Structure 1
Amino acid sequence: MTEDRTHTTAPGHLMAAEISEQPQVLDRIASTDTEPLTALVRHLQGHPTRAVLLAARGTSDHTALYAKYLIETQLRLPVGLVSTSTFTGYGTRPDLTGVVWICVSQSGGSPDLVESTAAARSGGALTIAVTNTPSSPLQDAAQLHLPMLAGPELSVAATKTYTASLMRLWQLVTAWSGGDLAPGHFVSKVAAAALDLPEVAQVASRYRFVDRMVTTSRGFAYPTAREAALKLMETCYLSAHAFSGADLLHGPFAMIDEDRPVVVIVPPGAGGQMLDPVLDRLTERGADVCLVGATGTRTAQVRIPLPEDLPEQLAPIVQIIPLQQLALQLALSRHHDPDRPRGLRKVTETT
């Protein structure tokens, strides 16, 4: 019998349960019949694509940023992140012939995403909706649909829909480029190993009374830094700023001191190598650094080690899990209920 989690009142129980469900969700995605994905890819491979546009909001915006890295590196196509207000607020109707439009939305109900996707379709784009709902206005507005397959998500803070959408977009782009989907079968096992890391509780205890924090990374892990900052803001009500490591070394570096912890997500591969000068400067600054991931011989005040069994492109699906746990544990230690953040709803309506 499936437990009805809506009747449990313990703060954070929904978020905790949905974080724990992620290995199962990822295994389901990897094991699902690939024919719907194959059919979608056939459309893409027969399409004269000159560019890709990605539309999303909130957590899904970080998924879209991840997809941008995937498409630029695997397909070598120009990719843009859409400003939906140019369609909904300014009434712009560009010629999008030869453009693939991918809109990511957990609910598929945000009016600005629905309207801009419909406008893109009328402008000649091949439109794809990536949603977690069996039927939605966004799915109706688009020509093609890719389900996230995360199952119902009840907590306001998105967790399993984020990792599910990363996995689905990795599958989509990899199949589109003619790549091998087999590595995706290992993700759920690595995700399960990342669920209960004792170091997360140590970091949560260290930062319990922190009001300001910075998250940073490079490459495929940069969306992880942005998603981690969002989770910390919406569940713990602290001021969390996410920067690319390259941008951090410009103006924002002036605000770094020992009272503003910096969470550095260090991926394997080129992304981790690009962070070397950032870590050097943070060490010189005397910053309170928390290293997450493949940390090598680097020293830091605290660290959250992660399994290094995944290639850099797949690593973001696992990197975010201990940071979701950190947001949950910090929120509970501050006597907040992360399932019901102040003033937030599951579906945000914007125009």
Structure 2
Amino acid sequence: MTRFLDEVDSQPAALLELAGFYRAAGAPLLKEWEKLLGRHSSLAFIGMGTSELAACLVLDALASLGKSVTIHDAGEYLHYLLEYSSRDRLYVLISQSGASAETDKVCRALAGVAPRVVLANEEKSPMALAADLFLPLKAGAERSISNKTYLNTLALLYLLAGGGLDKLEAVAGYLGHSCSEKEVSAAAEFLRPAESIHFIARGPALAAARQMALTFMEGAKCHGTAFAAGAFRHGPFEVLGENHRAVCLAPQGKTSALTLAMAREMASRGSRVVLLTDLEEIPEEDNLCVIRVKSFGEERLFPLALVVLQGHLLHHVAALRGYEAGVFRVVSKVTTVE
């Protein structure tokens, strides 16, 4: 067992910790969020890496509430958009450490300009202390590639978009037995040599696709790229063939049929495709490896239901490539330099 897998397998407990906090002591913080949200029709989510990509989980949910939502890389916002910040917009700054270089600079620059809501794991971090409203992730200590903090960022965003604590507790109860080591090991073998993998999804599942692309680069040292499924047809489809590897995410929902059809077409053209889905009764096909997770009836919960499985898949792919996932060679856990 590696340190990374230890943390991956402790994700259910981390999620229960978050749910318990916001059911009790943290409930007033959610009320404060509701007040802020009610006073603003425009929101901007700002972060780096996992802390940026996680926000796409709730893009459609907030839009359904009549909110105009944008998601920004903190470095790009800092240097190209900061001067156009509006006091009429609600800014949600996400940083697992609460000290990410670019996000912290944006947080400080917005002081007195616009309301700042900070989501972070470190409760005494610079961003947490500077926030107009601080919402802790309650993920506990994490030293490896983002896993517990990723899950709890998704979970907290789900709550902020109107999701229920009971649903999060149900997901936590499932995660402890959500992963078949035999299935995941076979999927990793199926992706060999895993030099380059495309991660393809639509809607809220894009959060998981983008996280997988990021962490497979970090942990398995492979070339990981995430695509919205529609965009993948617009040019990248030319890479299909026997040397191509892809992971497609197809939760039940608006576009499941489209993503499933794409996965099958890719496989029929020779690509090796791992399909992660909560759909039932998908027959095995040549070049298509299917792994199912439990459905919780909402597309926004699908990325949360995947977290243990995707962590174990990363571990196995990394091992096949001669690496231990979660051991950094070049970067550090917290990026404090632009």
Normalising by structure 2, what TM-score?
A: 0.91
The DSSP-based 3-state class of the residue aligned with 1:102 is strand
The DSSP-based 3-state class of the residue aligned with 1:170 is helix
Instruction: Note closer, same or farther for the CA distance 1:98–1:90 as it changes in structure 2 (3 Å cut).
Output: closer
Extract unaligned runs of 5+ from structure 2.
none
- Write the distance in 1 (CA, Å) between the matches of 2:76 and 2:310: 33
Aligned with 1:338 (options 325, 330, 333): 325
Cross-structure match for 2:19: 30
Task: Output one character per residue of 1:18-55: Cα deviation in whole Å (capped at 9) or x when no partner.
Answer: 00001111122222353554323333333320201001
Task: Output one character per residue of 1:132-174: Cα deviation in whole Å (capped at 9) or x when no partner.
Answer: 112101112221111111100011x111111111111112221
- Amino acid of the residue matched to residue 167 of structure 1? A
Task: Output one character per residue of 1:47-106: Cα deviation in whole Å (capped at 9) or x when no partner.
Answer: 320201001111222212223343224x23111112434553358423422211111111
- Write the distance in 2 (CA, Å) between the matches of 1:231 and 1:85: 20
Instruction: Note closer, same or farther for the CA distance 1:180–1:25 as it changes in structure 2 (3 Å cut).
Output: closer
Instruction: Note closer, same or farther for the CA distance 1:32–1:85 as it changes in structure 2 (3 Å cut).
Output: closer
Cross-structure match for 1:167: 155
Cross-structure match for 1:42: 31
Q: Which moved more, 1:61-70 or 1:255-264?
A: 61-70
Instruction: Note closer, same or farther for the CA distance 1:250–1:169 as it changes in structure 2 (3 Å cut).
Output: same
Task: Output one character per residue of 1:184-204: Cα deviation in whole Å (capped at 9) or x when no partner.
Answer: 220112211213442101111
Normalising by structure 1, what TM-score?
A: 0.87
- Write the distance in 1 (CA, Å) between the matches of 2:299 and 2:81: 39
Aligned with 1:67 (options 49, 58, 67): 58
Extract unaligned runs of 5+ from structure 1.
1-11
Q: Contact conserved, 2:12 with 2:176, CA < 8 A, in 1?
A: yes
- Amino acid of the residue matched to residue 148 of structure 2? K
Instruction: Note closer, same or farther for the CA distance 1:277–1:302 as it changes in structure 2 (3 Å cut).
Output: closer
- Write the distance in 2 (CA, Å) between the matches of 1:91 and 1:166: 25
The share of aligned pairs that are identical, in percent, is 23
Instruction: Note closer, same or farther for the CA distance 1:250–1:182 as it changes in structure 2 (3 Å cut).
Output: same
The DSSP-based 3-state class of the residue aligned with 2:209 is helix
- Write the distance in 1 (CA, Å) between the matches of 2:294 and 2:132: 39
Cross-structure match for 1:297: 282
Aligned with 1:106 (options 96, 109, 125): 96
Q: Contact conserved, 2:98 with 2:120, CA < 8 A, in 1?
A: yes
Q: Contact conserved, 1:129 with 1:138, CA < 8 A, in 2?
A: yes
The DSSP-based 3-state class of the residue aligned with 1:263 is strand
Pair 1:313 & 2:308 matched? no
- Write the distance in 2 (CA, Å) between the matches of 1:83 and 1:227: 14
Aligned with 2:78 (options 88, 92, 99): 88
Pair 1:115 & 2:105 matched? yes
Q: Contact conserved, 2:43 with 2:92, CA < 8 A, in 1?
A: yes
Q: Contact conserved, 2:194 with 2:317, CA < 8 A, in 1?
A: no
The DSSP-based 3-state class of the residue aligned with 2:61 is helix
- Amino acid of the residue matched to residue 57 of structure 1? M
Cross-structure match for 2:136: 147
Q: Contact conserved, 2:250 with 2:260, CA < 8 A, in 1?
A: no
The equivalences for 1:1-351 within 5 A come to 13-47=2-36, 48-73=39-64, 75-85=65-75, 88-90=78-80, 92-124=82-114, 126-155=115-144, 157-174=145-162, 180-295=164-279, 296-300=281-285, 301-351=288-338
Count residues with an aligned counterpart.
Answer: 333
- Write the distance in 2 (CA, Å) between the matches of 1:328 and 1:133: 26
Q: Contact conserved, 2:82 with 2:106, CA < 8 A, in 1?
A: no
Task: Compute the displacement of 1:245 (Å).
Answer: 0.4
- Amino acid of the residue matched to residue 312 of structure 1? E
Task: Compute the displacement of 1:336 (Å).
Answer: 1.2
The DSSP-based 3-state class of the residue aligned with 2:300 is coil
Q: CA RMSD in A?
A: 2.1
